[in-house]
Structure 1
Amino acid sequence: MSDTEIDLHALIDNTPKQLFINGEFVDAEGGKTFTVLNPSTGQPLTEVASASEADALKAFDATCEAQKEWAATPARERSEILRRTHDYLKEHTEELTYLQSAELGRALGDSRGEVAYGSEFFRWFAEEATRIRGDYRHAPAGSGRIIVHQQPVGPSLAITPWNFPLAMGARKIAAALAAGCTMTLKPASKTPLTMLFLAKALKESGLPDGVVSIVPTGKSSNVSKLLDDDRLRKFTFTGSTEVGQMLGAKAAEKSIKTSLELGGNAPYIVLDDADLDTAAEAVATAKMRGAGQVCIAANRFLVHSAIKDDFLKAVTEKISEFTLGAGTDPNSDYGPLSGEDQLEKVRRLVDDAMAHGATRHLGDELPTGLAEGGYYFPATVLSDIGEGAAIHSEEIFGPVVAVSTFDSDDEAIRRANDTPFGLAAYVFSENLEHALNVAEGVETGMVAVNKGALSDPAAPFGGVKQSGIGREGGFEGIHEYLEPKFIALP
């Protein structure tokens, strides 16, 4: 299906907007709904069912009821359902692309990329479902035999963010299903439609009733209340550090197996022997994807002082080529921010940087012709930002390149690590040994060398320090939903 064949109004009308509980789309208790806004206009997009505590409990009851049978389902059968889900999502790529761009405001190219990325988790874990293995060995002391059996953790609760409305849910759901776990999931209230579309895909792919329930809500505590339920065995969260740590602490009260993917503050280190064209080109992905609203987006651009001016020139020229517009406009390279809250945060950080003496190289004003009321912020390049500016320490989550300089590798590594966060980092050098020495010194869970794209369903995703606990994707991702059981034999 081509861009011109998408009827956005029909797409929204035909996308489920009810709760998905026990294999059925149902209204919320009392018919309650909440409004989803279109960030490109600031106007209402649609109304979606808002789960109450009772609705969330009903969904989790179904999750728990389905657990025993789903865990006993042959791995090949689970795998085939996951593969059919992948195929369904690929078949409906354009519908999902426009749906995400409508509710998130993200440019179509970025949304199309996420559909490819998110759907791939179902193919990856379809393959991993049949490869779960344990271990058999003799005890070193000769006292018996050791069997290690991997079994599903059990009923799971997932809470996902708004910035990747398909992929963040897909890599949790796909891993859980592959392992034999059932799940209740709450999508972000800004972007619930994509997960409800996924619920339809799972149903069409033959997922048994109750194995996955999707419960959007305008009041998050209605679902997070499930952390008090003694039947919950696994909690997985992607979102802000503050909220994740609070919910993680709640889960710890009952020793619930937990994985958290939290905030980042990614350094983008351009060493003195970097190829400037490569370093500037990679900004298109590392910063401008999703208008900078990405947890692994480059946040602190640390550039060797000897090449600072050349880098600033190259990156300013590159970003100035990007067209800002409505998310569903095929001519847009990047779209608005997700809401008034994000817009105000980015404005605050840039205004504060300017108050600390920053030089602005790009981003003085918005282009003309943008919809009034949309949450637009222009691509911005800053340098010479004084000490004490908030932009040095806070995650920007917007299309802002903030450049500062260093004079040695040790200084670059020290400054890169001068943060409580450690999710991702980027390193640029034409000398591989040089790049690896710096990459190994940076305290993050992931490092990209000479590239701006980092995520891969076949690789472990996650951070260190206050950026989270656990890994998603890769060979490691399925183990977040498995527990090794030791069986001792004579």
Structure 2
Amino acid sequence: MSKTIKVKNPATGELIQEVTRHTVEEINRALENGQKGFEKWAKVNAHERSRLLKAWSQKIQENKEEIAKVMTMENGKPLQESIGEVNYATSYIDWYAEEAVRIYGRTIPASSETKRITVSRQPIGQVAAITPWNFPAAMMTRKAAPALAAGCSFIVKAAEETPLTTMTLVELAYEAGIPKDAIQYVNGRGSVVGQLFTDSPFVRKITFTGSTPIGKALIKGSADTVKHVTMELGGHAPLIIAEDADLDYAVGQTIISKYRNAGQTCVCVNRILVHENVVDAFAEKFTAAVNKLKVGNGLEAGTDVGPIINEKGYDKIVAQVNDAIEKGAEVLTGNKYEADKEQGYFFVYPTVLKNVDASMDIMQEETFGPIAPITSFKTLEEAVEIANNTPYGLAAYFFTNDYRTGTYLHDHLDFGIIGWNDGAPSAAHAPFGGMKESGLGREGGTEGIEPYLETKYLSVGNLLN
């Protein structure tokens, strides 16, 4: 195995930087240091932890342009999206800096006059995180901020495609005054580092964002030491357009959800379900909007859709599109590619498919690419049945101006995150997470700090009456 990881620009195939691949011994040493760091960091008072988190956020904002450029170079997303992600990343730090001083206990009325019962919260221990390439800043801070706020130490392994953003954020944490053994990063192959994390006696919690199969493996690996786990896994988001929906507004919101980061997000729209009476009108308006999107290098001004991260992702997208076409789907726009496997860059132009059905792979598997399949439905019950017909339950969207339709869809869709006339519902102060095979636990909001805390109660007896 190579001693370095070659980080390349997915828009050009150009080598950006080589970073050191940590050895097993180095990772185990970092985990041991993290345990020592936890013992010290847990004793830092909540107000000081809050202050240091705010200082970290400020450092990131002071270096926002530089971080965004690094992110675009290693990830490929348009520069404006990267800037937006940096802001999103610091919103989590800002939120949990405030939550650090709101970790409350309580007193419970005892059943005896001579007893008193109190409940307290304490940090769970060292937290090990594995983060994805598609949001290298936000997915890291969404885990690190609540962990540090709670008093846990934190160690993170970033995706091999995008380690530079994470490394930069950790170095800025040090500059802000957060101790080096309280927050660390390691670089290496996911399967190797993941097993070291799950096997380590110094790790009390695993938090992961990525595919469902890898999440399941981490859950199994954590069982022997009964580690706590938070899993934000795969999705297959439906978007429902009701007959009464504002089509122009729905088109704009669908564009935002579907084509952000070239469709390489776990909550992006994967299946567009449109009422049969408006499907033609929606498809026409949507296709016209998609045709205005500019594909290119994320560093170039005006780019809306960047490259696909790697050859594996590219091949999956092409295979899904070809399968749909072979089974009768109509291409309204797209099905155009610019790729060079030898050089190492892959572009898929925004594609709209109509007349898709359940027999097609694209309706059964998460795409992770800029492909929008459109199908129609007759009744809300049918739309819900199609939407829920998946093992995943992360995000869903619907568009209607009828509160009865909206309430019905909210109540019957089995997804953890739902956007009603909203294609971008994520926020630091709201709980993010899925149902079914899309994960365990929540990140964000007041719920997001709970997985990093243990509950302890004290019963005091023999009190004076």
TM-score bracket relative to the smaller structure: over 0.9
User: Residue type matched to 1:103 in 2?
Assistant: E
Structure 2 residue aligned with 1:11: none
Structure 2 residue aligned with 1:5: none
Aligned: 1:487 with 2:458: yes
Change over 3 Å in CA distance of 1:184–1:363 after alignment to 2:
same
Alpha-carbon distance between aligned partners in 1 of 2:128 and 2:118, rounded to the nearest angstrom: 29
Q: Shift in Å at residue 219 of structure 1?
A: 5.3
**Preserved CA contact (<8 Å) 2:130 2:159:** yes
Structure 2 residue aligned with 1:401: 372
Alpha-carbon distance between aligned partners in 1 of 2:402 and 2:390, rounded to the nearest angstrom: 27
How high is the sequence identity, in percent, across the aligned residues?
38
Structure 2 residue aligned with 1:344: 315
Structure 2, unmatched stretches of 5+, are none
Alpha-carbon distance between aligned partners in 1 of 2:334 and 2:144, rounded to the nearest angstrom: 39
Aligned: 1:112 with 2:80: no
Alpha-carbon distance between aligned partners in 2 of 1:249 and 1:400, rounded to the nearest angstrom: 33
Structure 1 residue aligned with 2:121: 150
**Preserved CA contact (<8 Å) 1:33 1:218:** no
Aligned: 1:267 with 2:238: yes
Aligned: 1:382 with 2:361: no
Structure 1 residue aligned with 2:155: 184
User: Residue type matched to 2:44 in 1?
Assistant: T
Structure 2 residue aligned with 1:215: 186
Alpha-carbon distance between aligned partners in 2 of 1:108 and 1:321, rounded to the nearest angstrom: 18
**Structure 1 residue aligned with 2:413, among 429, 442, 454?**
442
Structure 1 residue aligned with 2:431: 460
Structure 2 residue aligned with 1:64: 35
Aligned: 1:85 with 2:61: no
**Preserved CA contact (<8 Å) 1:265 1:299:** yes
Alpha-carbon distance between aligned partners in 2 of 1:217 and 1:65, rounded to the nearest angstrom: 22
Structure 1 residue aligned with 2:217: 246
Structure 2 residue aligned with 1:19: none
State the 4+ residue runs in structure 1 displaced beyond 6 angstroms.
none
Q: Deviations over 1:424-452 (max 9, x none)?
A: 00010011232121022100111001011
**Preserved CA contact (<8 Å) 1:324 1:334:** yes
Aligned: 1:123 with 2:100: no
Change over 3 Å in CA distance of 1:366–1:228 after alignment to 2:
closer
3-state SS of 1:405 partner: strand
Alpha-carbon distance between aligned partners in 1 of 2:128 and 2:190, rounded to the nearest angstrom: 16
**Preserved CA contact (<8 Å) 2:147 2:153:** yes
Structure 1 residue aligned with 2:228: 257
User: Residue type matched to 1:427 in 2?
Assistant: F
Alpha-carbon distance between aligned partners in 2 of 1:110 and 1:232, rounded to the nearest angstrom: 34
**Preserved CA contact (<8 Å) 1:109 1:333:** no
Q: Shift in Å at residue 37 of structure 1?
A: 1.5
User: Residue type matched to 2:41 in 1?
Assistant: W
Q: Shift in Å at residue 364 of structure 1?
A: 3.6
Structure 1 residue aligned with 2:270: 299
Structure 1, unmatched stretches of 5+, are 1-29
Alpha-carbon distance between aligned partners in 2 of 1:189 and 1:372, rounded to the nearest angstrom: 18
**Structure 1 residue aligned with 2:447, among 476, 479, 489?**
476
Aligned: 1:417 with 2:388: yes
**Preserved CA contact (<8 Å) 1:162 1:191:** yes
Alpha-carbon distance between aligned partners in 2 of 1:213 and 1:432, rounded to the nearest angstrom: 48
Alpha-carbon distance between aligned partners in 1 of 2:111 and 2:407, rounded to the nearest angstrom: 38
Change over 3 Å in CA distance of 1:435–1:205 after alignment to 2:
same
Structure 1 residue aligned with 2:282: 311
**Preserved CA contact (<8 Å) 2:335 2:348:** no
Structure 2 residue aligned with 1:133: 104
Q: Deviations over 1:313-351 (max 9, x none)?
A: 111111111100011112211100111111111101101
Structure 1 residue aligned with 2:202: 231
Structure 2 residue aligned with 1:431: 402
3-state SS of 1:476 partner: helix
Q: CA RMSD in A?
A: 1.8
Change over 3 Å in CA distance of 1:418–1:62 after alignment to 2:
same
**Preserved CA contact (<8 Å) 1:152 1:481:** yes
3-state SS of 1:147 partner: strand
Matches within 5 A, 1:334-373: 334-366=305-337, 373=344
Q: Shift in Å at residue 58 of structure 1?
A: 1.1
**Structure 2 residue aligned with 1:55, among 18, 23, 26?**
26
Q: Deviations over 1:249-299 (max 9, x none)?
A: 111221111110000001101111111011100022211110000010011
Q: Shift in Å at residue 489 of structure 1?
A: 2.4
Structure 2 residue aligned with 1:101: 72
Size of the alignment, in residue pairs? 460
**Preserved CA contact (<8 Å) 2:338 2:348:** no
**Preserved CA contact (<8 Å) 1:31 1:49:** no
Given the two structures, how large is their TM-score scaled by the length of structure 1? 0.91
Alpha-carbon distance between aligned partners in 2 of 1:247 and 1:364, rounded to the nearest angstrom: 36
Change over 3 Å in CA distance of 1:386–1:296 after alignment to 2:
closer
**Preserved CA contact (<8 Å) 1:278 1:451:** no
User: Residue type matched to 2:409 in 1?
Assistant: V
3-state SS of 1:376 partner: strand
**Structure 1 residue aligned with 2:291, among 320, 325, 332?**
320
**Preserved CA contact (<8 Å) 2:31 2:202:** no
User: Residue type matched to 2:163 in 1?
Assistant: P
Alpha-carbon distance between aligned partners in 1 of 2:7 and 2:344, rounded to the nearest angstrom: 15
